[in-house]
Amino acid sequence: MKILHLADATFADKPGGSRKYAQELAIRLAERGNPQVFLVPKENPNLLNEEIWNSLQVYRYDAANPLAKQSALRKNMLALHARYHFDAVIVHFAYTAFAYHLLPTARRLPTLRMFQGPWDSEHAAEKGSGTFRLKAAHAVMHQIEKTSLQRSDRIIVLSKFMQQDAVQRFQIPVSKIRILPPGVDTERFVPGDKTAARQKFGISEDSFVVLTVRRLARRMGIDLLIQAAAIARKSVPNLEVHIAGKGPIKEELAEKIVALGLQKCVKLIGFVPDEDLADRYRSADVFALPTVSLEGFGLVVLEALACNVPVIGTPVAAIPDVLRPFGEDLIMSDCTPEAIAEGIVGRYNLRNTPFNSRKLIEAEYTWSRTADHIEQELQDIIASGK
């Protein structure tokens, strides 16, 4: 099968969970003899228009604004289809594939849609919806998402939460939707030497380290994690909370850390390069997911668990479904700082109790397993005779 992927960037161009999913899936499909082609906007002028990366053929198009991008997508997609004669298309983001869905060619091409997050709802959660302009923007986002979902032959979601969102807010028949958890690179994310990992980052061996790797946005609950640190450190000697990531509320979080006098306890460690991520997990005693809304899944959860690092998460959206197979006690009682602090203290009290999530990860959450299912879905929609 020759597959075209429509995304907003490659993971190498612009790191992110959905782009990592696209990359890992495409690599596994390519290993099975299925040529994989990515068509993405050019993130910066220094990137090549064409290149082969990790056995994936990447084409980038340049444009000055969103409308020009859709025109460039249309032109490039038709040219690539004439060259490759694709058997199917995988759409990873609605907003970069709108022009594709409007093409007559798209009506004849089997299309698989990856619906990993509620784009319009996430934007509203971060930007608010109090003005006419924002409400109008969210209405347009909703319609673009709905069009993409309706015009796709099969929809892959990562959790029951995302299935419900597709059905309830976009009126998508449940028969079109498949729930398929993502995978994790079990060769790279493995349990390792905590002492060596801590030495690499200058972390004291005596510290009890709580790690989170998140985009620094309001719905991620990072401010609540900081407040929780002020509570938990009364019970947890040498508590350190390491917050990895970048985003629009970085300065606000830095101010909160100072206001609470937590400079020695809570550290904003910035963006973590992908090659350092596994060691960051290994350096931690617990991984925290304090999200307050709209968590579609969270690849970081699987990566931490693959390293045998326990994950505590709020009872929000998909988080309970993701964590429950690994232990009911990993799910916090609510989203308050007190509940998050209780989760941290609880894991501290269990610090000498063996925790082994690796076996379940290897059985249920590998990229090979994900690729098996996606390959079957692609074969099914191709065989349907579209």
Torsion on CA atoms 90, 91, 92, 97, rounded to nearest 10? 150
Report the distance separating Cα 128 and Cα 114, nearest Å: 26
Q: Which residues contact 297 (CB under 8 A, 6 or more apart)?
A: 116, 158, 159, 162, 181, 182, 318, 322
Per-residue pLDDT of the chain (386 residues; tens, 9 = 90+): 999 999 999 999 998 889 999 999 999 999 999 999 999 999 888 999 999 988 899 999 998 888 899 999 999 999 999 999 999 999 999 999 999 999 999 999 999 999 988 888 888 888 888 898 998 989 999 999 999 999 999 999 999 999 999 999 999 999 999 999 999 999 999 999 999 999 999 999 999 999 999 999 999 999 999 999 999 999 999 999 999 999 999 999 999 999 999 999 999 999 999 999 999 999 999 999 999 987 878 889 999 999 999 999 999 989 999 999 999 999 999 999 999 999 999 999 999 999 999 999 999 999 999 999 999 999 999 998 75
Structure token digits, residue 50: 């064409």
SS3 123: helix
Domains of the chain, start order: 3-183+366-383 (3.40.50.2000), 194-363 (3.40.50.2000)
Instruction: Provide the 10 A C-beta neighbour count for residue 51.
Output: 14
Listed in order, strand segments (DSSP E) in the chain are 3-6, 36-41, 50-53, 56-61, 88-91, 111-114, 154-157, 177-179, 208-213, 239-244, 266-270, 286-289, 311-313
The answer to whether the beta carbons of residues 93 and 44 sit under 8 Å apart is: no
Instruction: State how far the alpha carbon of 312 is from the alpha carbons of 14, 24, 159, 225, 361, in Å.
Output: 27, 25, 18, 11, 16
Partnered with residue 38 across adjacent β-strands are 5, 58
Torsion on CA atoms 326, 328, 333, 336, rounded to nearest 10? -10
Specify the pLDDT at position 361. Answer: 97
Report the distance separating Cα 156 and Cα 235, nearest Å: 43
- For β-strands 239-244 and 311-313, DSSP reports them as unpaired
Report the distance separating Cα 250 and Cα 216, nearest Å: 6
Specify the pLDDT at position 53. Answer: 87
- List pLDDT tens digits, range 106-134: 999 999 999 988 888 888 888 888 898 99
Longest alpha-carbon distance in the chain:
65
Instruction: State how far the alpha carbon of 125 is from the alpha carbons of 128, 331, 347, 366, in Å.
Output: 6, 23, 30, 31
> What is the residue-wise DSSP string for 219-263?
GGTHHHHHHHHHHHTTTSTTEEEEEE---TTHHHHHHHHHHTT-T
Report the distance separating Cα 110 and Cα 280, nearest Å: 40
Specify the pLDDT at position 386. Answer: 57
- List pLDDT tens digits, range 178-189: 999 999 999 999
Report the distance separating Cα 178 and Cα 155, nearest Å: 6
The answer to whether the beta carbons of residues 17 and 300 sit under 8 Å apart is: yes
Terminal-residue alpha carbon distance, the chain = 15
- For β-strands 3-6 and 88-91, DSSP reports them as parallel
SS3 355: coil
The answer to whether the beta carbons of residues 316 and 290 sit under 8 Å apart is: no
Report the distance separating Cα 312 and Cα 123, nearest Å: 25
Q: For the chain, what percentages of helix, strand and coil (3-state, to nearest 5) are there?
A: 50, 15, 35
Residue that is written with structure tokens 């100072």 in the block: 258
Task: Give the angle 187-192-193 at the CA atoms, nearest 5°.
Answer: 155
Specify the pLDDT at position 89. Answer: 98
Across the beta sheet with 111-114, the strand order is 50-53, 56-61, 36-41, 3-6, 88-91, 111-114, 154-157, 177-179
Specify the pLDDT at position 295. Answer: 83
